Structure 1
Amino acid sequence: MRKNTSNFLISLCVILFSSLLQMSVSCSNNERDAEKVTIDNEITEITNITETSAVVSADLNSNGNENVLFRGICIGTQTNPTINDTKHQEQGNVLGLYTAKFENLPYNTKFYARPFITTNSKTIYGNEITFTTKNISVPTVSTLEVSSVTQNSAVFNGKIENDDSSKLLSKGFYFSKTNSKPEYKDQKIESNENFEFSNSVTDLEPNTIYYVRAFASNLAGTALGEVVSFKTTSFVLPTVSTTVATSILENTAVSGGVVLQEGSNPVTERGVCWDTAPNPTITYDRTKDGNGAGSFTSNLKSLKPFTQYYVRAYATSAAGTSYGQQIWVKTIGGDKPTVEASVSASKNTVYITVKVLKQGSDNITAINAKCFDMDGNNVGKLVSGSGWSNSNIYAPVTFEISGLSSKSKYYIVGSATNSLGTSTSEKIYITTL
């Protein structure tokens, strides 16, 4: 009887333990099921997918009675992204739709996205959805013919044939006069225009071959167009002739010229230039008599009397300055030198000192002295003269005349000569000892 009672108690304990175990398992499963049901946070759609961005939308329908601090979306390039990856989150225990725009993503890349909520103690993730950013390739660009070529400028032209629907980061031209395949190491100019773009380039060298090609860059890289070569034109100087001078006076004269051809550039200034030395240039005296082609009249002013000038017409353009044939003009008027003399005498000799007071309008070529008897005859013999120098024309010059009679009366004159003639001093009378 005792044995049966023991077996009964054992069987009863097994039944009770089994029942408690089933109840425990049932309660655990019911809690997890309740969490799954009550927390409803899922990604609803992914839109506006580009090469570098996407918009992810999610809906938090139920928070499962959790105290939600943040809700958000996280993405990554591996499955099951977490808040330690790229994320967007909003603060507050708010139900309903929310979106996140992810930018600066790499192109042609697969991403995994999950919604999440963060409570005081944990982060709970929702469903996972994947998306892939769009692929891109380098654009296609063409180099068009260079236009408006001058001596030092040109217009480069290009065209974007295909941008692969990706934003262009830059476009423009590489060019060089030495590299027949210009690239980023060479000269560069960028354009802000649209698919057909142009750039005006200056400061080029004349009569020089240049190589140019268009470029366009996006996130995938830089594309280069074909190479186009061109040659800048040469500078051509104007052609000008000089008009023979007329109305020549002491201080003025009239000349001029004719611009026969302007050359490669418009004539911006024309006139005549002059100097007392041959081949005058515009660095000397000059007139300014308009611009362009055709004839012009020039008035020469502030000239010196009885002076020979060399005159040339000129014409100036961006190519430089050219000159016409040289003519010469000699003004009228002018003065002979002004001199004075002094004298002393011995028994048979007189000593005459001649001094130039004014040179006159031209260089002095000779200084002299003579002695005359009272009948006006040139008498005596010139024994010596101290000479004179062009470097100091105002230095006194002394002459000695001998062979005169003692105690006889004479008169002397000094003289100086330039191209206008010879001038003499006043007569000075003297009696020998």
Structure 2
Amino acid sequence: MKREIRFNLTLILAILAGIAVTFSGCKRKPELATLTTANVTEITINSAKTGGNISSDGGADITARGVCYGTATLPEITGQHTSDSNGPGDFTSDLTGLTASTKYYVRAYATNEAGTAYGNEVTFTTAAPVVATLTTLEATAISSNRAVSGGNITSDGGSAVTARGVCWSTAANPTLSDNKTTNGSGTGNFASDITGLTPGTTYHVRAYATNNIGTSYGNDISFTTSAVVPTVTTAAVSSYTRTSAVTGGNVTSSGGAAVTAKGVCWSTSTGPVATGSHTTDGSGTGSFTSTITGLSPNTTYYYRAYATNSAGTAYGVENHFTTSPVTVPEVSTSSVTSVGLTTASSGGNVTNDNGAQVTERGICYNTTGNPTISDTKIPSGTGTGTFSVNLTGLTSGTVYYLKAYAINSAGTGYGSQMVFSTSISDVIGNTYATVLIGTQLWMQTDLKTSKYNDNTDIPNVTVNEEWMVLTAPAYSWFNNTPSSVFGMLYNWYAVETGKLCPSGWHVPSDNEFKTLERHLGMTIAEADGSGWRGTNQGTQLKATTTWNPNTGTNTSGFTALGGGYRYGALGTFADFGVVTYWWSSTLHWDDTTKALYRRLDSTEGRVFREGVSKAGGKYVRCLKNQ
């Protein structure tokens, strides 16, 4: 049984082998594949996309497929080609590494047992070179004067990048004509260090890349540098007192942020700060002036300018100065008024205590000049301000010198010296103001006493005929009309008595008149002459009223009035408002029947000197004895 089974199996196997030999002898011979080349798309300067379609494998497996390409027609797989898997059907091929502006020939290929078949040939030309493609990197590591940026060149545009970097400006879209860095060549990422920036400033940055075609730029980015404290200088002190000083400064840079405060700070020790004593003098940049107040006298202060912004406070160079020391007070002397026989009024004004309290103020006076508080003084309170003082117990007909004074811890300050003279009176009680001219003390008005200084009467002769024949003393009023303004007219016989003026006073001599005239500017030669002499001495002597016309200035204080005269030969009155005369006590130099006089006219600026009959009626101006 076992042998039968083995035989049957052997027979079956033999039959199957025969069948296989029969079919093997009938198999088809393989052929080349059939395929087409796809159109070229997505053409760039250095790449393109194409492919093919294998519609028949030619009866054998496709073991390789792709495209071959080159710059000559009918490219083959022995040249440049792609390998794009195997098998029939569609496939895509990416061509890379191409040359810009170049014509290429392309054929799809397929390889099987029969060999390599090619599709139809297509051509294309790569794009021309362009500028590079790049982006700008965001700024990092930003400080007050630098930042880091850069770029990424993703394509050189078909032409080698020979220069790259970033350019920047405070305006958008900077170019190579602005500030720039240079950071090598080629494509890819690069970093750029941007320096020399201004604090607190917004900058725009673009990466750039240059090839043979030109320069291209990345996107515009912006960043702002951080602010710093301002830059400020300190001005020198231009003036100072005991309690104040004037200085200032100049903010030359804001530091990139708004300057919100500026001024000067000070201290009695070094390193003053703006949180201590300081001025506030506005905001912003530029120069400014600061007035420092509330200082102490004779003290050294340290000061410096400051400026504040959001970054902090900056200071200029520190300087120092010393305030003025306490000095004696400043005081002015008031005019002397209400001068009488034994009284007067004055005062002063303490305008500055000069750093220390005024503990006493008042007036001091004497009869010799330049009075001090060691002479007679009259205190009048303390402190600054005006004050007034009444003087009593003075001597009539006396020249006094007066000053205001003020005392503080530094000493005594004095005002300017005022000179005044008290009035005098005659025996019948008439009061006469006096005036000091040069060294001579004169009555300021003409004499009008009806009694001698021994209290005896002077005859009053009113009748013209009687007056003209007189050889004895007499007086009269002009036109026999008493006056409160004008003096009396006297003949020279009254002068000759030596008793006409109040005691201690006398009728001036011719030489004493000359002294007056010379003090007013007349030369010695002019004074010794006769007739009209000098220049404007008469104008200086004449009052500004009572003259017709009024041509006087009275700058001398003599106050001569245009009172007229009484003609000795006829006893008549004449020339009121036009002329005035005064007797001297001196006889004429070559005719003792005459006495010398002085005359002023309304229309004449000079002084007339001559002699005339003793009978003439003329005014008398008394002079204090020396």
Normalised TM-score (structure 1): 0.38
| Higher Rg of the two aligned structures | 2
Normalised TM-score (structure 2): 0.28
Higher normalized strand content (fraction of residues): 1
Looking at both structures, which has the greater relative contact order when contacts are Cα pairs under 8 Å and sequence separation is at least 6? Answer: 1
